[in-house]
Each structure stands twice: as C-alpha cells, then as structure tokens.
Amino acid sequence: MARYNNRNRTRNEENNGLFRPRQRDTRRRKKRNPIKDIEYIDYSNIKLLQRFLNDQGKILPRRITGVNAKQQRAITRAVKYARHLALLPFVAEDMR
Amino acid sequence: MARHYETTVIINGMLEEKQINDAVERVVETITKHGGTISETDHWGRKRLAYPIGKKNNGYYVRFEYDASGEIVAPLARFCRIDDDILRELTLVLTERDMQKREETETRIAEAEAAAESAEQDTDDSGDSDIGDQGVDDE
C-alpha cells in the first residue's frame, strides 16, 4: 500500500508542470437565456409558458430553464394566473 | 386613486351566443356602475378549459381593460361569483410600465414569429453558432 502511494507521488512529481486537471468533461456549458427579449410575461401567452413546464404541468426550475431570477418570478406568477383561468392545468398526465 | 385594470372573465361556454352577450353586457354594466371607464374589450372566444370548472369543459373568454378606482375590485369579484354564467374572474392592476413593456414584447414576438416563418427550413442553430466548439473538435 505504502509502495503504491509512493509510486503515485513520484508519478505526479514527474508530471510536475505538465500535469493538467481533467476538466473537459466536468466543465459545464453556459446556459443561454432563452427569452432575453421578452420583458412582459403575459399569462395569456400559453405557448411561451408551456416551455417552462414539464409534461405534468409543473414549473421547471431556473437551473434547467436558464432564465434570470426576475424572469423566473414573472413566469411563476403568470403560470399561476393562467392556471386560475384554466388556460393551464394544475395537474396533468401529459400536457403536450 | 384611479388605476388601470385588466379583468378577464370566463363565461359558461355551453350557453347560446345571445346569453353570452348578455353576460358580457352584465359585466360591462357592473364595471361602469362602479365608476369604471372601459378602454378595451378583447374577445378571445370559446376555449377548451384545461380542467373542468363546475362540470363545464368549455369557456368563453373576455378580457376588459378599464380605468377605475380600487373600490371597484371587490364588488366586481363579488358580482362574478354570484352570476351563474360566469365561471372565473381575474383582475390585475396594469401599471404604466407593464403596458409599455407589454407593447414592446408584443412587437418583438411578432417580429420573431415573422422571422421564424421565413427561416422555417433553416437549422435551429443558425445565427449564433459557437466558435469554441470548432476549437475543441480540432484537437
């Protein structure tokens, strides 16, 4: 065990400055804001709102949609108004 | 203080055309009775509801925009609840900024749709392809 560790260490030392951390796979792609141009999120624009729901009709998190916080709040509000007016379902098996 | 309001109502979609118009008229009356001046009426028409309301699957949507004082909101909501032909109601305040933004957004959406239609056959990634991608591929 100790020998193995030693070997590892020498290997690293050999690599020295040439050692490069793996990053190609772990680096994440920067999300693009999909609705940058839209300033007013209208509750009657179902086509737009549906892009931010999963097929059960749940609101997708920002982590996935990539919109900014302000827009996410506006979307959430709009979805809730749309649900009140039965434009969107509260629960759905398959929305699409 | 006078504000700009937007109210959308769902009227029972099973009714005859005439009955729907009567119901719309009743809403208009209620708004004017409480000191509102309607600036815009928008008929979305019959739509299938996303879920049944009071055993109905269809609704006739009408949106009103009007100026009124805040005292109108509660009586209007109450009226809609009592009226049997009105299934749902939603009243929102529209600030000047909201209206401005909405207009801008609407024109932009229209522009984008026109552009999308003309470029229907093109691939999705046209316009802003990633230069970084090509660099990785060369490795």
Residue A36 to residue B23: CA distance in whole angstroms: 40
Which CATH number is associated with domain A2-84?
4.10.640.10
Confidence category of residue B138, pLDDT binned at 50, 70, 90: very low
User: Alpha carbon of A6 to those of A1, A35, B15: distances in Å?
Assistant: 9, 54, 85
B120 or A74, which is more confident:
A74
Instruction: Please tell me the predicted confidence (pLDDT) of residue B103.
Output: 85
Count of beta carbons in the 10 Å neighbourhood of residue B117: 8
- Nearest by CB to residue A38, choosing from B49, B108, B136, is B108
ipTM, interface predicted TM-score of the complex: 0.77
At B109 the pLDDT is 76
| Residue of B7, B8, B80 to mutate, interface with A, max A Cβ within 10 Å | B8
Query: B2-98 in CATH: which number?
Result: 3.30.70.60
Instruction: Tell me which chain A residues have a C-beta less than 8 angstroms from the C-beta of B53.
Output: 86
Contacts of residue B73, Cβ cutoff 8 Å, sequence gap at least 6: B5, B91
- pLDDT tens digit string along A32-54? 777 666 778 899 999 999 999 99
Q: What is the pLDDT of residue A94?
A: 79
The secondary structure of A18-30 as a DSSP string is G-----TTTPPPP
User: Over 50: is that where the pLDDT of B61 sits?
Assistant: yes
pLDDT interval class at B137 (50, 70, 90) = very low
Query: With an 8 Å Cβ cutoff, is B94 touching chain A?
Result: no
Domains of chain B, residue spans: 2-98
| Structure token pair of residue A48 | 């737009």
